[in-house]
Amino acid sequence: MIKYFLGTKKEENENKPQEESTGKPVEQHPVIALRNAWKTYRTGAVELTALRRISIHIFAGEFTAIMGSSGSGKSTLMNILGCLDQMDSGSYLLNGTDISSLNQEDLAFIRNQEIGFVFQSFNLLNKLTLQENVELPMIYGAVNRGERTRRALEALDAVWLASWARHRPNEVSGGQIQRAAIARAIVMRPALLMADEPTGNLDSRTSRDIMELFIQLNRSGSTIVLITHEKEISAYANRIIRVEDGEIVLDSFGRDAPKPERDN
């Protein structure tokens, strides 16, 4: 069973104002508030503008797919949203924090605490067991050993891998490796779960399993931004942002998507 992973870390939720009708906490600010982002790559004399005037607001609990063909700027956008790269101009508040004010050390801390990443090529370390891989972000996050073990097993259980904890990546299937990568991404209970083409290397059956897992994580409270060029995969999201040539050309909500008040 998927536990309520993301958002629960913020114990201060309990002190937030509650909406009378639903009892749910009223969100104070978007998880992502990106305004007028521009990014140009310079390679020798060649300049390539990969992002132009991108503005995105994403609120807690949304499941957004960022779509676009190869080269449209999706990974560049993910790297900026994930605080892995800097834009040339624009402003970015992640969960209320102004990213532009942070140094490299602060950025590493924010990434560790606020963001879970799942990449297309799984980035698990082959020398470590699945459990040790899932524990890694907690070592960087200075979580004590007993708590690390407990939370790693809990995260592996959430992706149906509890009994595979002591196996190494080369002893399990591609789908299991990707589920372990998801466990590693959620173990710090980040505000935001980001995935860049997470099913790109998987067969269609395994892709569906992975997408069902994202759906369950989203239903239990996770805010998800998923990058894909595949229409079937984007159908799992309740909001689709389409990027072409570095610009947003479509931002549409699906039927059951929440439509929060937005100011952009």
Ligand X SMILES: Nc1ncnc2c1ncn2[C@@H]1O[C@H](COP(=O)(O)OP(=O)(O)O)[C@@H](O)[C@H]1O
- E-only strand ranges, the chain: 32-43, 46-58, 63-67, 89-94, 97-98, 115-118, 192-196, 223-228, 239-244, 247-253
As a whole number of angstroms, the distance between CA 1 and CA 211 comes to: 15
80-109 residues in contact with ligand X (CB under 6 A) are none
Could you tell me the smallest distance in angstroms from the CB atom of residue 256 to ligand X?
27
Residue closer to Mg ion by CB (options 75, 133) is 75
Q: Does 238 bind Mg ion (CB under 5 A)?
A: no
Q: Does 71 bind ligand X (CB under 6 A)?
A: yes
Window 184-203: contact mask with ligand X (x via CB under 6 A): --------------------
Of 50, 67, 118, 183, which one interacts with ligand X (CB under 6 A)?
A: 50
Could you tell me the smallest distance in angstroms from the CB atom of residue 240 to ligand X?
15
As a whole number of angstroms, the distance between CA 239 and CA 250 comes to: 10
Q: Does 4 bind ligand X (CB under 6 A)?
A: no
Residue closer to ligand X by CB (options 43, 104) is 43
Of 64, 72, 75, 234, which one interacts with Mg ion (CB under 5 A)?
A: 75
Q: Does 43 bind ligand X (CB under 6 A)?
A: yes
Among Mg ion, ligand X, none, the one that 48 touches (CB under a kind-dependent 5 to 8 A) is ligand X
Task: Read off the amino acid at residue 116.
Answer: G
As a whole number of angstroms, the distance between CA 114 and CA 117 comes to: 10
Q: Does 72 bind ligand X (CB under 6 A)?
A: yes
Q: Does 176 bind Mg ion (CB under 5 A)?
A: no
Q: Name, in order, each residue with C-beta under 8 angstroms of 85's C-beta and a sequence gap of 6 or more.
A: 39, 76, 79
Helix, strand or coil for residue 251?
Answer: strand
Report DSSP state, residue 244.
E
Of 57, 61, 65, 74, which one interacts with ligand X (CB under 6 A)?
A: 74
**Binding-site residue total for ligand X (CB under 6 A)?**
12
Report DSSP state, residue 113.
H
Nearest CA-CA partner of 150 in 164, 140, 162: 162
Contact criterion met (CB below 8 Å) for 59 and 236: no
> Which residues lie near ligand X (CB under 6 A)?
41, 43, 48, 50, 68, 70-76
> Which residues lie near Mg ion (CB under 5 A)?
74-75
